[in-house]
Amino acid sequence: MERDLTTGQPRHELDTESLLRTIRFTSIALQQFWVEVQSFPLFLTATDVLKNSSIHDIEEILHWLQGSPSWGDQVPDAKFVPALGQAATRKHLLEFFRDVKNVRTICKELSTKLSEPLKLESVHSQIIEMIHRLEESLSIADKYSIKEINSIDLKQKIQGIEKDLRETQQIRNFFIQLSSISGTPSVQDASEAKEAFKAIQCMNQIPENVIIWRKKQILDPAQKIRLEAWRDRAKPIIELRKKIEDRFQVDSEVDVDRLYKLIAVFKAPGIFSSFKAEYKIAVEEYRKLIKPELSKKARKETPLEMIEHLTNWINYREQSETFSKNSDAQLFFSPHFKGIDTDFSSACEASQWAARIRSELFNSPEWASYIFEASSEKLALVTSFGRKEGDLYDAARVEELVDQISAQKDKLTKIAESYQLRIKDLKRLADNIQFIHIPERTRFSGLQEILDRSEEIGFLTYRMDSNQVLKAGIKEAYHGANTDLAPLEKAYFYAQYIDTALIPPALKAALLTVQGPQRFSDNRKMVAQCLPALSHAKEHLARLEIAIAARQDSFIFIGFREFLDKINYTLKNPGLVNDFITFCRGLPKRHGTA
């Protein structure tokens, strides 16, 4: 084999121009894929993952992401994820799950008594019934002069709670009227009333430029990355237009084909081409396109500089037209799509506003949906009615009323319990008149069974309280047997899935964080957009392998950045193409193996 006299490397008998063209196309495909990969927020966080990764390594991670569950939707409370990333903490949590479920099973066996929430629609009947019973007892107490019962004090308490009940009824009537005229969600209890007032306040604060962008695809949190991607895709075209507008008179009608013809004239071969009449006419036409204030400076431009400026103009025209005709963009931003002049800023602001609304109205998604979907006229109707009728009410007042009613109810209940001690005497004095209904307490079948089961509960509770590793891991979420297990179970399964996955440690560290589940889902949704670029890159690598006669699949197992750097270096130094061929032919099928 002949050797190069300059480098001493083997000289390969290949069509150099054809090979360099294949290498250049491969470089473009790899660069496009690399841009797609670097757009993943996950790889920006876990920067070490891409340092020495091959295309095969990156492809494995992408397929793993695509085949995984959408954890962002399944783990709503991710604050437990960092602690559960430790296998020891997960082991303690499994033991805790077992103990809690055992305690709850025992308690269910011992008692079936249930309690109902305090609702605006039923609070009247509950309290008034108790007032009626207590008033009945007061009449008997007064009749028989039972001094232990202070009738004056009790009557004052009854009058106070009746006043609060009337105000709660006014609040309920307010929401009934509001729902009838504007179709807002119904309000049944105090917690819903507080959320409703918060929702009305949110409607009062909607930015004007956001109202028209309340479209499902814009407000969907799953589409946030797609929205920002379109904005970022339009940005370089807008910047390119700025360069063109600074230089040329873009308002003049110039056909793209004419720009191509001017470039062809400036590229004409021959050292005397610039003396031809066609060249001089093209220069004059080019200068007419330049802004008058730049005409003197334009006279000093070389053909290469003129070609560069005209190429930028053509690129802008073609990219702008392609963007404007993109059916996905038209559908996504409909009906407010205006090509690169679309108001991406307001659309992104609408997406951020929707995220704040979902957070503010986390406990009342039906109100958030109403704000997102209601017409502008209905929103205006709600806010105007709220200002007209609801000035005296807000979330704080509802909470204050409910606290007052609950406190009064507790006081009345305690008074009723204290009267229970006098039930026998009162019944005898009232000639067996049943003046107050006392619910019977839950009865158990046997005292010994209660004692045995109570001791078992005590043992399990002690074991739970002694688990310091678990308590340190879940912190304020720990409430013994009353701990809410649902968010812990979801966080557990997510942490177990990530910790046992065959992925780089840096990737695990980035996903085993509070932001991990949402970060996982956001990146998972981007995989489908990246796979075409991956397939395109692998196709060009396969062509390059054939052109160089390298081993099949040898390129996808070498470090991506290392290989791309060698390709770019070869393109900058075409004379070293033989070195590149020798390097490629020396690669094993799997990098690092024989």
Q: Which amino acid is at 424?
A: K
Q: Which of 588, 569, 552, 503 is nearest to 63 (CA)?
A: 503
Residue 437, judged by CB atoms within 10 A of its CB (0-12, 13-18, 19+), counts as exposed
Distance between CA atoms of 518 and 504, rounded to whole angstroms? Answer: 19
pTM (global) more than 0.85: no
Residue that has been written with the tokens 């509950």 in this structure: 126
Partners of 3 in the β-ladder = 10
Q: Where are the alpha helices (DSSP H) in 75-186?
A: 81-84, 87-110, 123-143, 151-182
Q: How far is CA 487 from CA 244, 463, 472, 492, 512, in A?
A: 55, 22, 16, 8, 16
Considering Cα of 143, then 148, then 152, then 158, what sign does the dihedral take?
negative
Distance between CA atoms of 554 and 589, rounded to whole angstroms? Answer: 4
Within 10 angstroms of residue 569's Cβ, the number of other Cβ atoms is 12
pLDDT of residue 205: 82
CB 186 within 8 A of CB 173: no
Q: Which of 460, 513, 458, 521 is nearest to 491 (CA)?
A: 513
Q: What angle do CA 309, 313, 316 make, to 5 degrees?
A: 135
Q: Cis peptide before 303, with omega less than 30 degrees from 0?
A: no
H/E stretch holding 144 = none
Q: Which amino acid is at 347?
A: A
Show the low-confidence residues of the chain (pLDDT under 50). 1-9, 11-12, 112-124, 143-149, 392, 421, 423-448, 450-451, 591-594
* Number of residues that make up the chain: 594
CB 208 within 8 A of CB 415: no
What lies within 8 Å, CB to CB, of 545 at 6+ separation is 551, 552, 553, 554, 555, 584
Distance between CA atoms of 262 and 306, rounded to whole angstroms? Answer: 9
CB 218 within 8 A of CB 371: no
Within 10 angstroms of residue 345's Cβ, the number of other Cβ atoms is 10
- pLDDT tens string 114-127: 333 334 344 445 55
Q: Which of 33, 19, 43 is nearest to 519 (CA)?
A: 43
